[in-house]
Amino acid sequence: MRSRDRKFQKSDEFSKMFFFIFFFVVIGIIFTGLPRLAIPVGVAYVMGHLLMPLMQRLERLGLSRTLAITLIFAAIVIITIYPIIKLLPILAEEAENFQYYIPKIEKFIGATYVNLRNEVYQRTGLELGDKTLIDLVTYLKDGSRNLLMNLPQYLASLLEWMLLVPLFLFFYMKEVESVKRAILRLTPNSIFEKFYFLSHQFNNQLGGYIFAKIVEASIVGIIITTGLWIMEIRFAFLLGLIAMITNIIPYVGPILGLFPAILLALAEYGISSNFWAVIILYAIANVIDLALVFPILVSKIVDLHPLLVVASVILGSQLLGVVGMVISIPMVAAIKLIIHEIYLEIYPTGKE
Amino acid sequence: MSYEKEISEKIEKRQPLPAKLDISVIKYFWQASPFTSSHRDHVPKFLRKIEVLKHFSDNELRILSKYLHKRTFSATETIFRQGDKGVGFYFVYSGHVEAIVSSESAQEMGEITNTASKHVVSLERKDYFGELALLQENNIRSATVIAKSSCDLLGIFKPDLENLIEEWPTVAARLLQAISIIVADRFYLISQEVGHLKYKILQLENK
């Protein structure tokens, strides 16, 4: 009787484990296979992480959860509607102007290149090939043309997101606990404690990382935008936005954000006081970021070696492009957490 | 003849009346009905019966019960092993579990042998175990706990405690108070034991 009992229990445990893993594999396949679904869900998850503490505070005041979420949504709309209405036309205008600006940059690059080639030829007697240059210019042209050609498509998906993200966000905030409990109920007994503890730790790390990154990017974006705007540099808002978005990518991002600014400043002003002012502004913004914001906010949350960070960013860009660069750090942090746990399992450190 | 007429006739004739409504039977059927949500109250009621949680108010127990996870184990299933990292504190809701402490040497051999080094404690409904996991940073389980029969356990885990501290600080304080009482009682017993043993050692040395 007892052995039969044990047999039954083993198969039960096995099927639970199988179902549990199957569940996650299916979710993983759905999300990697359907970026149209995965991106709004991801955005909703990130925003949910940010808004959750606010919701809990409102709930503690005695509001029902639905009312708390509705209030938060209303507040977001009211707070963001004025800047969006003000900023969007400026950004649109700048983006449109930028397109007419490309030939100027192209000409500038060409002229600089001819100078450089002449100089190199005079000094060393070597002739530089122009393959790289032609590649670069065609890349720039194609890139901007593609952007303009696909603009309606981008706008359409933006509209889709504007509808889907609030929807997902609402239900994420409303149901997150019951979903968590449902997943925990599926978890087999043998891995329950480990799974619960690890997923909780990872969620906390990820939430902290996202929060820190958004604060960091906003600080850098605001410094650069206001600086450029005060100096009356063209495309101040566009450049500020680019700097803010690229700042999310660790280490490599600030350089990516600087690149368009240098090109524009060189093409517009040449090597003049304005050009140096732009460089100094970017340097100041990044020094503030590196010296103050990053050590205080980000590095404490994700405890990764700088080399590992750079390596994972490169790997992420190789596999998934820009999205890969952004999500690589949380992914590596999760993998590190799991490996550390397995390490402790295999090499117990004795009694601590 | 209608029921009312029958009753009034019986009253007139001073005959014994039929049995009154049995409230407890009705209550039983009411609670057994799948449409009432009274099974939700079972966990707070169960917690009420636990001695160490006597400082909780009824409402606090209701909140605490939302943070507990009911885990079902079948007979002979291991709940956790000695030497595992622990994050959970369990109450036995139903069934029997057995805590087995094997001595250091048996552990090092890599197996739990059936020798005298084994120390077994049987736990039943309303008993609890694993409370140190909530207090220690890196808790290592000091015993193996195995389900003796199929059983339901109510577990609260470190992440739950963290959420509880954030969301209901008073309930978290009550829970920690309860665990402190358990730990303090045990510490008192152990220090008494140590005093006793020291005295015995002294006696042996003097001989």
Q: What is the pLDDT of residue B195?
A: 93
Select the more confidently predicted residue: A99 or A352: A99
Nearest CB partner across the interface for B158, out of A12, A197, A348: A197
**By CA distance, what is A341's nearest residue in B?**
B85
Does the pLDDT at position A103 exceed 50?
yes
The verdict on a CB contact (< 8 Å) between A352 and B140 is: yes
Q: What is the mean pLDDT of chain A?
A: 78
Q: What is the pLDDT of residue B192?
A: 93
Short-list B192, B185, B191, B189, CA closest to B52:
B185
Q: Domain residues of chain B, as ranges?
A: 42-202
Residue with tokens 């090597």: A271
Task: Report chain A residues whose CB lies below 8 A from the CB of B162.
Answer: 200
Please give the C-alpha separations between residue B2 and each of A228, B5, B7, B8, B22, in angstroms, as whole numbers: 96, 5, 9, 10, 21
Residue A200 lies in a domain: yes
Residue A45 lies in a domain: no
pLDDT tens for the 207 residues of chain B, in order: 687 888 888 888 888 877 777 778 887 777 776 666 555 568 888 888 888 888 888 888 888 888 888 888 888 888 888 878 888 889 888 888 888 887 654 455 455 445 445 667 888 888 888 888 888 887 888 888 888 888 888 889 988 888 888 888 889 999 999 999 989 998 999 999 999 999 999 999 888
**By CA distance, what is B90's nearest residue in A?**
A193
- Tell me how far the alpha carbon of residue A177 is from its chain's centroid: 25
Task: Report chain B residues whose CB lies below 8 A from the CB of A344.
Answer: 85
Residue A53 lies in a domain: no
Q: What is the pLDDT of residue B200?
A: 93
Cβ count near B126 (within 10 Å): 14
Residue A281 lies in a domain: yes
pLDDT in tens, A2-53: 444 455 555 677 788 888 888 889 988 888 777 778 778 888 888 888 888 8
Residue A296 lies in a domain: yes
Chain B closest-CA separation from residue A238 CA (Å): 40
Nearest CB partner across the interface for B140, out of A8, A181, A351: A351
**By CA distance, what is A11's nearest residue in B?**
B74
Alpha-carbon gap, residue B207 to B193, rounded angstroms: 21
The verdict on a CB contact (< 8 Å) between A197 and B159 is: yes
Alpha-carbon gap, residue B86 to B139, rounded angstroms: 5
Q: What is the pLDDT of residue A318?
A: 79
Alpha-carbon gap, residue A64 to A59, rounded angstroms: 6
The CATH architecture of the domain made up of B42-202 is: Sandwich (2.60)
Task: Report chain B residues whose CB lies below 8 A from the CB of A351.
Answer: 140
Task: Report chain A residues whose CB lies below 8 A from the CB of B167.
Answer: 56, 60
pLDDT in tens, B11-47: 888 888 777 777 788 877 777 766 665 555 688 888 8
One-letter identity of residue A278: V
Task: Report chain B residues whose CB lies below 8 A from the CB of A197.
Answer: 87, 157-159
Instruction: Find all residues with CB under 8 Å of A189, minimum gap 6, and list them.
Output: A13, A16, B71, B73, B77, B79
The verdict on a CB contact (< 8 Å) between B77 and A352 is: no
User: CA angle at residue A190 from A188 to A193, to 5 degrees?
Assistant: 90
Select the more confidently predicted residue: B138 or A141: B138
pLDDT in tens, A196-243: 888 888 888 777 777 788 888 888 888 888 888 888 777 778 788 888
Residue A85 lies in a domain: no
Q: Which domain holds residue A343?
A: 188-352
Q: How many domains does chain A have?
A: 1
Q: Please give the backbone phi and psi of residue B42, each rounded to the nearest 5 degrees, phi first.
A: -65, -40
Residue A13 lies in a domain: no
Beta bridge partners of B205: none
The DSSP code sequence of B127-155 is -EE-THHHH-SSEE-SSEEEESSSEEEEE
Residue A22 lies in a domain: no
